[in-house]
Chain A
């Protein structure tokens, strides 16, 4: 009888372990370890859910008209399209194009110039920026504490009545960390679940020869700050990373963006100056730009024939992750929608 009980316990433990193993996502072997721990069970994680509410809520802004999603739209891989420069409160126009938000757990620093060193601190920047949300953390907390909706939301998450900056910022960070995009055709090929077409294969070869040094796979960014010879826009004269480090060699350097989801994240570059990928490739093929910026990181022009450009773009399109962009778990939360409709 003792042996039967023990066997039952062991079988039970085995079943539990198997169930847990199934629910915990398997890390893909070609993807490096992230710097941040990913939220466990993101779709059923209360902190992530709270962060998602905050992300989409205009309550963050001084005039209650701008949310994070105003510039980081889920259908654009959380980037800002249709505008070279993102705009915020009272239609204020900023100085940069909001980058896409995905795979943030694999980044050490945030923003085009790496001004934010920790993801929990990132939301403070747009929250306080006079051209983005025009508010501040104190004002936000006052609004959250006065809101029945958020008093309940925080209580449901933390099982007490405390609403503070730590919880608010960490909830936003948790949602942002949950935005993971590794289900493109490229990823399917990497896991032997698909094959590139002939054209895509040719494009991949060109990519590895010309682009991989900076847009290093599988994240398609090396996470570094580089000068890619963009002619200086004198109306902005944005010195990029230099503004953070004050080191002369960092002038006009910006963080290398990921090339994932390019179909959704146009326009391109830190100031949104290129609306199509062909424009981007045209820039990289220009000898003129190399001559003018002798100390830039791009040492020589990338000359591609018309067909080669088509092949390269064909490969780049395999980096689009439709599942990510249209994942209902990341889109406008129904709970918030129902609440706002009531209001």
Chain B
């Protein structure tokens, strides 16, 4: 039983937790921060932007989310806002789900946004303007940093370090869980070296590319 719970806990179900969901169904194990991944690693914060969420069939867009941007946040009091909805989702049998992990660079290059893009959300760099596309914080015994903290604030929208990633996943049936495998994400990065990434650059891009590979449909 403990193993089953552990198995369920390492997978994060994205934003689709309640009966209002139109994009994907909630996973029964959706949990909020902090989460212990294993004996070495625990995660205290996981938030990221998703943008331009739509479903294609062939070259045609057959469904689009109501809003252009969502801030997915697994803090306990923010779970209710992790909803991606759109009209007619229940009619979709099969298609390619596409979305941008992060804020698309066109939006990022514009002025201050509202709602999920409001700087008050804590996902906007002030010292160098631009959005933090993906924010992951926690503690790992592998980290040589102060108090073994890791802080991965992955952003950057200007060339050559545009970090937002376009994700494409096949969905079938009328309901789909889009899952971010945080276990895989942490297991495949070297926290001994990449524990503090807080500016645009090669490392941020590389980690975003890695994060992209950690999404799948269930």
A interface list, Cβ under 8 A from B: 115-122, 124-125, 127-129, 137-138, 141, 164-166, 169-170, 173, 244-247
Contact = CB atoms under 8 A, between A and B. Distances in A.
A138 B120 contact: yes
Contacts, number: 63
Contacts of A124: 119, 124, 126, 129
A117 B120 contact: no
The majority secondary structure among interface residues of chain A is helix
A118 B110 contact: yes
B118 A164 contact: yes
A127 B124 CA distance: 13
Nearest to B115: A166
B130 A117 contact: yes
A125 B109 contact: no
Nearest to A109: B129
Contact of A166 (B112, B128, B200): B112
Interface residues of B, number: 21
A129 B127 contact: yes
A138 B120 CA distance: 6
B204 to A, nearest CB: 10
A166 B120 CA distance: 9
Contacts of A127: 126
A245 B202 CA distance: 11
A234 B109 CA distance: 34
B128 to A, nearest CB: 4
A218 to B, nearest CB: 26
A141 B127 CA distance: 19
A128 B129 contact: no
30 contacts: A115-B128, A115-B129, A117-B109, A117-B130, A118-B110, A121-B111, A121-B124, A124-B119, A124-B124, A125-B126, A125-B127, A125-B128, A127-B126, A128-B126, A137-B119, A137-B120, A141-B120, A164-B114, A164-B118, A165-B112, A166-B113, A166-B114, A166-B118, A170-B112, A173-B111, A244-B128, A246-B200, A246-B201, A246-B202, A247-B160
B218 interface: no
In terms of DSSP, what is the predominant structure of the interface of chain B? loop
B112 A169 contact: yes
Contacts of A165: 112, 118-120
B120 A170 contact: no
Nearest to B125: A124
A117 B124 contact: no
Given A117-B109, A170-B112, A122 B129 contact: yes
A136 B49 CA distance: 21
Contact of B129 (A125, A138, A166, A246): A125
A26 B76 CA distance: 55
Given A124-B119, A247-B160, 7 more contacts: A115-B129, A118-B112, A125-B126, A125-B128, A164-B120, A166-B113, A169-B119
B161 interface: yes
Given A166-B112, A246-B201, A118 B119 contact: no
B172 interface: no
A118 B129 contact: yes
A128 B158 contact: no
A247 B161 CA distance: 11
Ranked nearest first, the 3 interchain pairs of A and B with the lowest CB-CB distance are A120-B111, A121-B129, A128-B126
Contacts of A121: 111-112, 119, 124, 129
A198 B161 CA distance: 51
Contact of B161 (A118, A169, A246): A246
Given A165-B119, A165-B120, A246-B201, A128 B111 contact: no
Contacts of A141: 120
Nearest to A126: B126
